[in-house]
Structure 1
Amino acid sequence: MKTVPCPVLLIGLLALLLLPGTVIGQSNADARYIAEHYNKMERHVSMRDGARLFTSIYVPKDDSRTYPILLQRTPYSVAPYGAAYRTQIGPSMLFARDGYVIVYQDVRGRMMSEGEFEAVRPHNPDKTSDTDIDESTDTYDTVSWLLENVPNHNGRVGVWGISAPGFYATHALIDAHPAVKIVSPQAPVTDWWIGDDRHHNGAFQLQASFSFLSFYGQPRPEPTTRRATGFRDYGTPDGYQWYLDLGPLSNVNEKYLHGENKIWNAMMEHPDYDEFWQARTPLPHLKDVKPAVLVVGGFFDAQDLYGPLKTYAAVENNNPGLVNHLVMGPWWHGGWARGSGLRYQDIYFEQPTAAHYRETIELPFFNHYLKDGPDPELPEASIFVTGSNEWHAFDRWPPREAREANLYLAPGGGLSFDRPTGADDYAEYVSDPAKPVPHTSQVVINRDDRYLIQDQRFAATRTDVLVFESGVLQEDVTVAGDLFANLYVVTTGEDADFIVKLIDVYPDTASYVGENPMNVKMGGFQLMVRGEVMRARYRNSFTHPEPMRPGNVTRIEFDMQDVAHTFKAGHRMMVQVQSSWFPMVDRNPQTWVPSIYEAKEEDYQAATHRIYFSRSAPSHLKMKLLE
């Protein structure tokens, strides 16, 4: 492992780039550049089953040389349609200025494309005819058409996408067209049940899913340039109260969607990780991959953190020797593609992390494989470690030099790397579905991903949140790699959710860096390094849920997703444990019902949960420490 310095950029220039007027000016300059240097073509590209997919193609006007093709397939629209041009094209405008044919396509059944849309369409490895389709074949057929019909290309293709387009980029790796030389899935949607977007460890992501699916799942009977709009008639800015008043999840269809939203209905019909969900992850199919791979994600991504980590791991494990790189930075969803990355909300990173990625990693990597540019000699894993605010280069992820350690909950609300020795130590709290713990201190009606980086002091003061805190650290502690929660619990109910947060507590003397219009107090700030939820009914199997036995000690282990963070000397480490995270996560009734999505009002009952930290039941976080 080595620390990678970031190129020094002028602070004054960075400050200007953060000003709204400057951003608008840059956007206008980018739009002018595209209009002056690119021609736009719109075509319907025929697939092997006859469906025609609407495709928008930007071709450099300079025909004195050839260019690689960059392809993004999206369910969110290739707009603008017609004569108007996009104001930015490519993974960043660096690509447009460097010279690429840049292509956007409405995926099957979305916007102006023909066919039937299926969210997270399964890959079909057992095709029985030449007209069987999936996202891999649609990508293959699109690439074949582009090579035959687009002028001035050099025969090489790259595919990229963020979020849902990242899902389609991942499918470009499966049975890839020979011309596809590089694929970059970025925050790719990978498993809507285990860890991305719609569920985490079986717990339904209520607020985000309702607001998103209310437009994403609307019927589209025929091709259109008009985007669907989601539900807006909340009548209040207070999401916490609105979702509490909503009552059981079955009320969503009864009151608002009326059974007309196909994707929402599928969610409600498949509460467990059954064959429906298992078929929809591309991970088992990432074998015999040929293109070079650049997987990108953000440690503060509230939507798709699972996707990049598991996609990288699947490609790595199934394709020995393949060029496969992972980049993880201190970014929100897609934050690496725009802005400087100098800070996220109140947290300052001391360097322009996003600009560093775009300029020294992304563009050089694509240019190497698509233009025979110099090899950027990237490490296997380029990881930004928050806290110490440094880029690190590892030859694999998690780092081979990291050692496993357990951080144990301790009596008196303490934390220790030493195993507890008590015989029957525990702490308990009452979790009441009628008074759930909010996931944010802010009043928000739609999804607001900034909860991930907000001060957690608002939760620490509640009686239904357990708090465990270390002493003041005498030296830095760097956590780098996978993170698992291991809880030993006793409940009076038959089901429960358990939310665990790993938190960095700032010294009381910490001060804010930069302008502070909201007058945020950084002294004692509680930064959530990682938080994750586990629905206890799935503790033994995601496919076959089972009730908890009231009064029995039960071990619950779950993946909290990877971290890369230094707890600085003078800070404290903290763990919070709670059983609701509302309205981001739907409420658990805490009584046994076969499907929570069909629970009735009377099923929601308060329960007492004990968390043990004794010699025989040592609740802890399993982590990797970097010396």
Structure 2
Amino acid sequence: MKKIILFTLISFLAFTACKNKESEPKKNTYVADNYTKKEVDIIMRDGVKLHTTIYSPKDTSKKYPILMQRTPYSSAPYGEGKMKTKIGPNIHLMKEGNIVVYQDVRGRWMSEGVYDNMRAYIPNKKENESDEVSDTYDTIDWLVKNVANNNGNVGTWGISYPGHYATVSTIEAHPALKAASPQACIGDFFFDDFHHNGAFLLSYFRAISLFGTYKDTPTDSAWYSFPKMKSQDQYQFFLDKGPLKNLNEYFQYDKLDITNSVKKDKIDDFFWKEIVEHPNYDSVWQSKGIIQHLDKVPSSVATMIVGGWFDAEDLYGPLETYKAIEKQGENNYNTMVFGPWDHGKWSRNTVKNYVGNYYFGDSISLKFQSEIETKFFNHFLKVEADKNSGLPEAYVFDSGKKEWKSYNTWPPENTETQNWYLSENQKLTTNQKSTKGINFISDVKRPVPYSEDIKTVFTPRKYMTDDQRFAARRPDVLVFETGILTENFTLAGDILAKLKVATTGTAADWIVKVIDVHPAELSDDKENDKLQDHLKMSNYHLMVRSEVLRGRFRNSFEKPEPFIPNKKTDVNIKLQDVFHTFKKGHKLQIQVQSTWFPLIDLNPQTYVDNIYKADKKDFKTQTHTVFTDSFIEFSVLK
């Protein structure tokens, strides 16, 4: 009997093991089967070596373009025989055959040097002076001279930080660089990622150490660690922490000798220190900006700027990058692609396209990869290219109609400016009817949350399409909306909020949100299978665009100034571009508030020279006023 039981048990375990093996996903070996990998250290003009990984097609019967990504996020896996399972911008470009190169930028991972976040560009460099522009130039120069079977044409691409380095590659570009696609590219740190119009994105605080932990020796292992919040309620965590200076403890660490892990001394995270010591748009931040240098992009480099309408991290960057090249390079081939994506989602292979709760359609990212991105790089890298690529100047997704449109310019030529006033009785109207003030109390102990979700996130993303009903029902959020629309109403271009405000204090933040209020009778929740359980599409308040301005910067980002208590004051807030149709039967709503926590840090509402050094006593509840001659300036498609 025991033998029978034992035999049965062994058989069951064997069967289970086989089933588990069958159910395991097969490892993707396409890259290993079709490419060889080589790791080299390329010497820059100042002697620093940058670690570079080169994937070359095994088929050596023809020549290939080089596609390069420079990244602070590691070109791993390192070591002989260890290979990525996916290379290049997308699967099509991988399978067609291209030489694909990844490089650790200066001071990151296996590259020598010391990293500088958004390292400043140096015009008119002296001999042996270097910056990211020269590092890119020197790398391309080495690649075209030393990598076998390359056709002499180079393309660059990247998303987020790698997108920034793709932008950098276009400045004073190497002659071999023919095409660049900066995607979700950082353009200026005072308006992208960690700041929005001077307000600090507190919700990104755990990412600080990723970029500011000191390292001066190559390593294939992470040398940084992330702060542990020990809470699943980030709203309460940051509220309890109080002033920003109380977060300093998370950004001090023991400096290590990377080679032998010997503690040397206690130092500050250099990125955090930079943020704290430079609260205004001074020469430090200005020098790191790249937008102002895009007049140096030669017409020999074709650019395709890619972004997501719902990218919480980098929306300013790609929009301003496209506009700057367009304005300053009249003869440049320069196009833009903006879809219904959050940060980098266009590179995913998923069929259903969601941002947070909201569903935009199927195969949107897949179509971009196969019909736009692949066509762009092939046209400029694989043939004798001209500017007749067959691609539109602006390929943009209408996030209201849920459809792609092509235009010869962006914004489209057939737009007009319309002013919509924040009128009494929560009305949004085209006629100014009064100049009365509407008051609300901004309580520093009960700031308006940016999300109703109770959780902690590393970098928040889904809030960009979150249902805003929870905010509309708070007394410290002013709501203005149209009646039910009798015809479609399309916004195409940027938005400018021209507020007339006052405060009993001397400092305040101002947040404006543009909302698409869906019909109450809308009940099609089935297509939105990611809709959170507590929500319905009925009366869904879709956030289309939102932005903050730290009020001290209302006249100058370089020279902040306090408010004069109770004095009516102009505050103009530029919101980034949208392309959205408010459909017949919907309503257009504007929300105005003064806190957005903890997406941005809490303003003391008492003017201090440096908010990062404010004391608890500086934080005071104030009464704010928005006057009804305030208006929103829309670019409306005729």
What TM-score bracket applies, with the shorter chain setting the length? Answer: over 0.9
Report what 2:550 is aligned to.
535
* One-letter identity of the residue aligned with 2:393: E
1:58-86 deviation per Cα after TM superposition (whole angstroms, max 9, x unaligned): 00000011100001000010111112111
Matched, 1:292 2:289: no
Match of 2:101 in 1: 103
Secondary structure of the residue that 1:621 maps to in structure 2?
Answer: strand
Partner AA of 2:197 in structure 1: N
Partners of 1:350 and 1:297 in 2: how far apart? 17
Match of 2:453 in 1: 442
SS at match of 1:561: strand
Distance in 2 between residues matched to 1:162 and 1:384, nearest whole Å? 19
- Give the direction of change, closer, same or farther, for the CA distance of 1:24–1:340 in structure 2 (3 Å limit): farther
Letter in 2 for 1:270: H
Shift of 1:100: 0.2
Return the offset for 1:458: 1.1
8 Å Cα contact 1:331/1:341 also seen in 2: no
- SS state of the match for residue 342, structure 1? strand
Task: Please state how far the C-alpha of 1:373 moved relative to its aligned partner.
Answer: 7.9
> 1:319 is matched by which residue type in structure 2?
G
Q: Which residue of 1 aligns with 2:170?
A: 173
Verify: 1:231 aligned to 2:226, yes or no: yes
- AA partner of residue 116 (structure 1): V
Cα deviation per residue 1:466-502 (whole Å; 9 max; x = unaligned)? 1112111110100000111111001101010001100
Equivalent residue in structure 2 for 1:304, among 294, 304, 314? 314
- Whole-angstrom CA distance in 1 between matches of 2:467 and 2:531: 16
SS at match of 1:482: strand
2:356 paired with 1:345: yes
Q: CA deviation at 1:341?
A: 5.6
Once residues 289 and 44 of structure 1 are traced to their aligned partners in structure 2, the CA distance between those partners, rounded to angstroms, is 27
Instruction: Encode CA deviations 1:349-379: one digit per residue, 9 max, x unaligned.
Output: 2342211111111101100010118854111
Q: Is the aligned partner of 1:431 residue 2:442?
A: yes
**Change beyond 3 A, Cα 1:145–1:620:** same
Unaligned stretches of 5+ residues in structure 1: 1-22
Q: CA RMSD in A?
A: 1.8
> What is the aligned counterpart of 2:374 among 363, 370, 374?
363
Q: What's the CA shift for 1:543?
A: 0.2
| CA distance, structure 2, for counterparts of residue 233 and residue 348 of structure 1 | 33
Matches within 5 A, 1:93-242: 93-129=91-127, 131-193=128-190, 195-208=191-204, 210-242=205-237
CA deviation map 1:563-609 (0-9, x unaligned): 11000001111111111111110000011101111110000001100
- SS in structure 2 at match of 1:350: strand
Give, in whole Å, the separation in 2 of the partners of 1:513 and 1:381.
32
After TM superposition, list the pairs within 5 Å mapping 1:320-331 onto structure 2: 320-331=330-341
User: Counterpart of 1:99 in structure 2: which amino acid?
Assistant: G
| Structure 1 match to 2:9 | none
Q: What does the per-residue CA deviation read over 1:132-183, in whole Å, with 9 as the maximum and x for residues that have no partner? A: 0010100000001111221111110001111001111111011100000001
Matched, 1:72 2:72: no
Closer/same/farther in 2, CA of residues 321 and 573 from structure 1, 3 Å limit: same
Displacement of 1:243: 0.8
Q: Which amino acid aligns with 2:207?
A: F
Shift of 1:348: 2.1
What secondary structure is seen at the aligned counterpart in 2 of 1:531?
strand
Aligned residues: 595
Q: Distance in 1 between matches of 2:110 and 2:285?
A: 27
Tell me if structure 2 keeps the 8 A contact 1:410–1:420.
yes
Query: Which of 289, 294, 311 is 1:281 aligned to?
Result: 289
For 1:234 and 1:562, the matched residues in 2 are separated by 35
Q: CA deviation at 1:283?
A: 1.4
Decide whether aligned partners of structure 1 residues 624 and 513 sit closer, same or farther in structure 2, where only a CA change above 3 A counts.
farther
Which runs of structure 1 show a deviation greater than 6 angstroms over 4 or more consecutive aligned residues? none
Deviations 1:216-244 (A, max 9, x none): 21111311111244334211111111111
Contact 2:353 2:362 in 1 (8 A): yes
Q: 1:248 to 1:516 in 2, by over 3 A?
A: closer
| Cross-structure match for 2:12 | none
- Change in CA separation of 1:67 and 1:42 when aligned onto 2, cut-off 3 Å: same
Partner amino acid, structure 2, of 1:564: F
Partner residue in 2 for 1:264: 272
* Equivalent residue number for residue 573 of structure 1: 588
Q: Secondary structure at the match of 2:379?
A: helix
1:546-585 correspondence to structure 2 within 5 Å = 546-585=561-600
Matched residues in 1 for 2:556 and 2:130: separation?
Answer: 32
Residues 460-499 of structure 1: matches in 2 within 5 Å? 460-499=472-511
CA contact (8 A) 2:113 2:217 kept: no
Opposite residue 490 of structure 1, the aligned amino acid is A
| Structure 2 unaligned blocks of 5 or more | 1-22, 254-266
Deviation at 1:342, TM superposition (A): 2.8
Q: Secondary structure at the match of 2:576?
A: coil
* Distance of aligned partners of 1:517 and 1:505 in 2 relative to their CA distance in 1, 3 Å threshold: closer
> Any conservation in 2 of the 1:480–1:565 contact (CA below 8 Å)?
yes
Question: Aligned partners of 1:502 and 1:516: how far apart in 2?
Answer: 23
How far is 1:419 from its partner?
Answer: 2.3
Deviations 1:32-91 (A, max 9, x none): 111100001001111001100000110000001110000100001011111211121101
The match for 2:433 among 396, 421, 425 is: 421
Which one-letter code corresponds to 1:119 in the other structure? N
Could you report, residue by residue, the CA deviation over 1:360-400 in whole angstroms, capped at 9, with x for unpaired residues? 11101100010118854111111101111111111111111
Amino acid at match of 2:288: R
Task: State the shift of 1:509 in Å.
Answer: 1.6
C-alpha distance in structure 2 between counterparts of 1:227 and 1:100, whole Å:
30
Q: Return the letter of the residue paired with 2:60.
A: D
CA distance in 2, matches of 1:476, 1:321: 36
Match of 1:607 in 2: 622
CA contact (8 A) 1:34 1:87 kept: yes
2:36 aligned partner, one-letter code: N
Whether contact under 8 Å (1:159, 1:183) holds in the other structure is: yes
3-state SS of 2:380 partner: helix
8 Å Cα contact 1:214-1:257 kept in structure 2: no
Larger of the two Rg values belongs to structure: 2
**Structure 1 187/102 Cα, relative in aligned 2: closer, same or farther at 3 Å?**
same
Q: The residue matched to 1:245 in structure 2 has which SS?
A: helix
CA distance in 1, matches of 2:132, 2:251: 31
Deviation at 1:256, TM superposition (A): 4.9
What amino acid maps onto 2:619 in structure 1?
Y
Q: Which amino acid aligns with 1:283?
A: I
Confirm or deny: 8 A CA contact 1:163 1:186 kept in the other structure.
Answer: yes
8 Å CA contact retained: 2:358, 2:531: no
Aligned to 2:420: 407
Q: Tell me the residue number matched to 2:514.
A: 502
8 Å Cα contact 1:384-1:390 kept in structure 2 = yes
Report what 2:329 is aligned to.
319
Give distance in 2, aligned partners of 1:225 and 1:238.
Answer: 34
Give 1:454 shift: 1.1
SS in 1 for 2:601: coil
Amino acid at match of 1:624: S
2:397 aligned residue: 384
C-alpha contact 1:346 1:512 (8 A) present in aligned 2: no
| Superposed displacement of residue 426, structure 1 | 2.3
Distance in 1, Cα, partners of 2:160 & 2:187: 9
Residue in structure 2 matched with residue 19 of structure 1 by the alignment? none
Tell me how far 1:246 sits from its aligned partner: 1.3
TM-score with structure 2 length normalisation? 0.91
